[in-house]
Structure 1
Amino acid sequence: MRHRSLLILTAALTTGALTLTACGSRDDSNSNSGDGGGNQTVVIGLDAPLTGDLSALGLGIKNSADLAVKTANKNKTVPGVTFEIQALDDQAQPSSGQQNATKFVANKKVLGTVGPLNSSVGESMQKVLADAKLVQVSPANTSPSLTQGQDWNGGTKARPFASYFRTSTTDAVQGPFAAQYLFNDAKKKNVYVIDDKKTYGAGLAATFKAEFEKLGGKVAGTAHIDPETKDFSSVATRVKSSGADVVYYGGEYPAAGPLSKQIKKAGAKIPLVGGDGIYSGEYIKLSGKEGVGDLATSVGAPIETLPSAKEFVANYEKGGYKEPFEAYGGYSYDATWAIIEAVKAVVEANDGKLPSDARAKVAEAVGSVDFDGVTGKVSFDEFGDTTNKQLTVYEYKDGDWAAVKSGELTS
C-alpha cells in the first residue's frame, strides 16, 4: 500500500468544549434522528458486532454513538443539519465488515463511519472507504499497522490511508504497558504467552513479549489457540508444566474466560492477563470464580473517574439503553463527535451548506479536530492515531473489574 499524505483543511476548524445534555429515550431502529429539525440529513455509518459472542462490546459502541447523535441533534450543534445513525452488524467477521463498508459507500448521505471493534475487520474496510473518500473513525481498533503500515515495527512507518483515524491507543503502547506493570509492579518474571492468531491478538501478544523480554523477563512457552473450540485443556496442561508465574493472552473474552478457568483447573494457580479485548463484564461471567485475580489493560483512564465523562455516564443511563456502554462507550461517543465536529467545520466553511465534495472535506476536517471529549482531549497525530496515550490496569476482584494503575508507557 502506498503512503497517502494527510490533507489539511484550509478552512478554520471551529471547535470547543464538548457539552452534554440529557437525551431522549432509546430508539432501537437503525436510524436514530433524534429531534434536530435540520433540513439537511447527514448519516453516520456504524459498524460493530451487534450479534454474536462480542455483541456486548458492539452494542456499547452502537448505543454510545447513538447518544452522541441525539445530543448533537438536540443541541443543534450543526445548524441546519440533522444526524442519523445507520448501524450494521459485522458479527466480528472481516468479510461482513467489508460488505458493510460497501453499503455505507452506496448511501450518499453517509459522510462518515464509526467502528469497527475488531482490527481485522477494520483492515478489511479501510480501502473500500478510502477509495470513496469516506472517513472512518474507530473507537476500538488497536493494531498499529492500520495507521502506521505493515512495517511499523521495522523502522518504517507509513500511513496507508489518510481517511482512517482512531480514538483508542494502539497495541504498540498497550502490550509494553502490560509488560512493564507485570515485571516492575507485580514482580512477575516468567510468562507463558498465548494468542488466538488474529490481527489483534497476535499483534498484542507480540508487543507484550518483546517488552517483557527486554525488561529481563523469561518466556516459559508460547502457544496459539483456536478461539472457536473452547477446549484448551492441552495448552492448560502445558502452562502448568512450564513453571510460569503468569499467563499473557492476546485475544478476546469469549476464549479468554474459558482459557483462564481451564488453566486454573489444570493446577496452575496463576493470573491470566490480557488487553482491552478481555476487559468486559462478560469475561467475569465466563471465567467465573477461577478468574478472580486476573488482570486486563484497557485504553484510557477509568471513565467513571473522569470529570469529562460524568455527563456522558448520567445521560447514557437517562437514555434508557438496555446494555452497558462497556470498554469503548466513551471512545465511540468521541469518535462520533469527531465526525460531527468535522461536518460542522465543513458546513461553516461553505456558507451553512454541505458542499458537493462533502465526503472528502469531512475526511480532511477530522484530521484537524481538537476538542474536550468524554475520554479527555480528542485530537489525532500525523498517522491518524489518538494523541491520548493513557492506559489502565484492571484486576478482577469482588465480582467486577477494579482499577489498579493508570498511566502512560515509559520509554
Structure 2
Amino acid sequence: MRHRSAVVVSIAVIGALSLSACGSRGEKKNADSGSGNGGSASTVVIGVDAPLTGDLSALGLGIRNSVDLAVKKANETNEVPGVKFEIKALDDTGKPAPGQQNATQLVGDPKVLGVVGPLNSSVAQSMQQIFDDANLVEVSPANTGVALSQGEKWASGEKKRPFKSYFRTATTDAIQGPFAAQYLYNDAKKTKVFLIDDQKTYGAGLAATFKSEFTKLGGTLAGEEHVNPDDRDFSAIVTKVKNSGADAVYYGGEYPAAGPLSLQLKDAGATIPLMGGDGIQSADFIKLNPKSQGDFATAVGLPVESLDTAKKYIADYKAAGYKDAYETYGGYSYDSAWSIIEAVKNVVKDNGGKLPTGDALRKTVRDAVQKVTFDGVTGKVSFDEFGDTTNKQLTVYTVKDGKWAVEKSGTFNG
C-alpha cells in the first residue's frame, strides 16, 4: 500500500553498538536471564512506524500490536539466546513528513536493528534514503507501490532496486491492480468503469495498473477523476459518475475517503459497486458506509483466518488482550517482525552464539534479512532480488451483511 522526493538525508550514527551477548543455545531459558554465566541479555529494538493516530489508525494499530506480539513470543520462547527484543513504535499519522522524522529518530537509536513499516507508500518514499544510508533494514507489511523496490522505470521493463535496506511482505500493485481488473471484468462482468484516485503514491499507482489491464481486457473507462485524500464531499463527482453510464467505480486510495464516496454514490441513486485495493479493505470502510453491501476490495495474500499457519497467531493476538483488531496487515506485520528476529538469530548463530558489535552490525542484519526463509503466519516468507515478497497471492473481498467476505483468491494471470 500505500516519485520518491529528491531530498537525500544522510545520517551518521555516532558510536559503536555496545551490545554483548553470550549463552548456550543448548537449553531454553527466559530471555531476561541472559547467558547463564552471569551475563545479561543484549537488547535489540525493532522499530515500528505506522499511523497510530488519525484516519488510518485502525490499520496502524493492528501493525503495531502484531509486532509487539512477535517480540513477546520471541522473548517467551528465547528464540535468540542472549538477546531480548523490544519495540519502539512511532506515529507517522499516515504522512511523509512525520515518517521522515521518525526514520531519523530510529536511525539515531543504536539499539534499533530493524524497522517494521510504514503503512503508506508515500511515507516509505520519505524514509528509504535515511534507512539505507544507515544500513538499517525496514520491512513493510503494507506498501504496494512498485517503484519502492523496482525503481521509477519499472513499468517500461527497466527494473532496478533503489535501496538494499528495503523489503516488504506485501505484494505490489503491479499485481494487485491487474488482479482487480481481471476480477471486475471477467467475474463481476463489469465492462464500463469510472476511475477515481486520490493522487497519492499508492492510490494513483494502483489506479494506473488497474486501468492498463482493464482496457487491455476490452473494458472501457466511463470517466476519470482525481480527488484529494482529505475530501469528504464528492457531490460533483457523484453527478459525473451517475451521468456516465458506468456500471462500477474503481477507486485508488484508502478507506477514509472511499467510504463516504461510496455512500454518497448510493444515496444519489448510483447503485453500482465501488472497488478498491487493500487500502479500503478495513472494517472502518463499512463503518463509514452503511450502504457498502456489494462493494469490492482486493487485499494482499490469502485471508489470514483461512490459513492453518495463522491459527496460533489469531489465538495469541486474542489472548494478549489488544483492544484494536489486527486488521488487514496484522499477519504480515507479525511476519515482517519475525523476518528481523530470524535475521538476528542467524547473525548470532554465525558469530559463535554472540551478537556482533560495531558499526557493521546493521549491515550484517540487513544482509541476513535478504536470506531469510521460514514458515510464517501468512505462509512461506522469503524475499526476491528486489526485496519483494515471493508470496504473490491476492484475494478479492465483497461486503456481505456488514462484513468483508471472501469472493476469490488466486494469483494474477499476466
Q: TM-score, normalised by structure 1?
A: 0.91
The one-letter code of the counterpart of 1:134 is: L
In the alignment, is the contact (CA less than 8 A) between 1:44 and 1:83 conserved in 2? yes
Question: Cα offset for 1:36?
Answer: 4.4
Given candidates 124, 129, 132, the residue that maps to 2:131 is 129
Q: Tell me what 1:9 maps to.
A: none
Do the aligned partners of 2:259 and 2:288 also contact (CA within 8 Å) in 1?
Answer: yes
* Distance in 1 separating the partners of 2:81 and 2:227: 51
Q: Which runs of 5+ in 2 are unaligned?
A: 5-29, 35-40
From the superposition, tell whether residues 284 and 346 of structure 1 become closer, same or farther in structure 2 (CA, over 3 Å): same
Aligned to 1:272: 274
Structure 2 residue aligned with 1:249, among 242, 245, 251? 251
| Residues 208-217 or 351-360, more deviating | 351-360
Deviations 1:151-197 (A, max 9, x none): 11012000000110000000000000000001111111000000000
1:252-263 equivalences in 2 (<5 Å): 252-263=254-265
Q: 1:47-77: per-residue Cα shift (whole Å, max 9, x none)?
A: 0000000000000000000000000000000
Over the aligned positions, Cα root-mean-square deviation in angstroms equals 1.2
**C-alpha separation in 1, matches of 2:142 and 2:31:** 28
| Secondary structure of the corresponding residue to residue 326 of structure 2 | coil
**Partner in structure 2 of residue 374 of structure 1:** 377
Cα separation, 2, equivalents of 1:265 and 1:318: 41
Cα distance, 1:267 vs. partner?
2.0
CA distance in 2, matches of 1:388, 1:224: 31
What are the Cα deviations for residues 262-318 of structure 1, in whole angstroms up to 9, with x where unaligned?
Answer: 111222110000000000000000011x21110000011111110000000000000
Does structure 1 residue 396 correspond to structure 2 residue 399?
yes
- 1:75-86 superposed matches below 5 A: 75-86=77-88
Which whole-Å deviations, capped at 9, do the CAs of 1:116-147 have from their partners, x for residues lacking one?
00000011100000000000000000000000
Equivalence map 1:12-411=2 (5 Å) = 36-38=32-34, 39-288=41-290, 290-355=291-356, 356=358, 357-411=360-414
Fraction of identical pairs, as percent = 66
- Structure 2 SS opposite 1:277: coil
The equivalent of 1:20 in structure 2 is: none
| Aligned-pair CA distance for 1:351 | 1.5
Aligned to 1:8: none
Deviation of 1:114 after TM superposition, in Å, equals 0.4
Structure 2 letter corresponding to 1:187: K
**Cα distance in 1, alignment partners of residues 409 and 53 from structure 2:** 31
Kindly state the Cα deviation for residue 228 of structure 1 after the two structures are TM-superposed. Answer: 1.0
What is the rounded CA distance, in whole Å, between the counterparts of 1:100 and 1:92 in structure 2? 12
1:227 deviates by 2.1
Q: Equivalents in 2 of 1:109, 1:261: separation in Å?
A: 47
Mapped to 1, the partners of 2:348 and 2:287 lie a distance apart of: 46
Residues 35 and 70, structure 1, Cα contact 8 Å, conserved in 2: no
TM-score (ref. length: structure 2) = 0.90
**Where does the alignment leave 5 or more consecutive residues of structure 1 unmatched?**
2-33
**1: distance between equivalents of 2:307 and 2:275?**
25
